[in-house]
Structure 1
Amino acid sequence: MCMIEADKNGEEEKKVYRATTKCPECDSPLIRQDYERGEIVCDSCGLVIEENLMDQGAEWRAFDYEQMVKRARTGAPMTYMIHDKGLSTFIDWRDANVQGKSASNIQRLRKWQNRVRVSSSSERSLIFAISEIDRMGSALGLSKDVREAAALMYRKAMEKDLIRGRSVEGLATAILYAVCRQKGIPRTLEEVGSVSRVKQKEIGRTYRFLSRELDFRLQPSSPSEFVSRFCSRLNLKEDVRAKAIEIVNQAEQQELTVGKGPISIAAAAIYIAARLCGDTRTQKEVAAATGVTEVTIRNRYKDIVEALGIELPQLQPSSTTASNLTSSSSPLSSEKELSG
Structure 2
Amino acid sequence: MASTSCRNAAKRLGRAHCPYHPDAYLVEDYTAGDLICTECGLVVVDRCIDVAAEWRVFSSEEDLKDPSRVGDAQNLLLNGGDLTTMIGEGTGTASFDEFGNPKYQNRQTMSSSDQSMLDTFEAISTMADRIHLVEIIVDRANRLVKRVYEQKILKGRVNAIASACLFIACREEGVPRSYKDI
Per the normalisation by structure 2, the TM-score is 0.47
Question: RCO (CA 8 Å, sep 6+): is it higher in 1 or 2?
Answer: 2
Per the normalisation by structure 1, the TM-score is 0.28
Larger % of helix: which?
Answer: 1
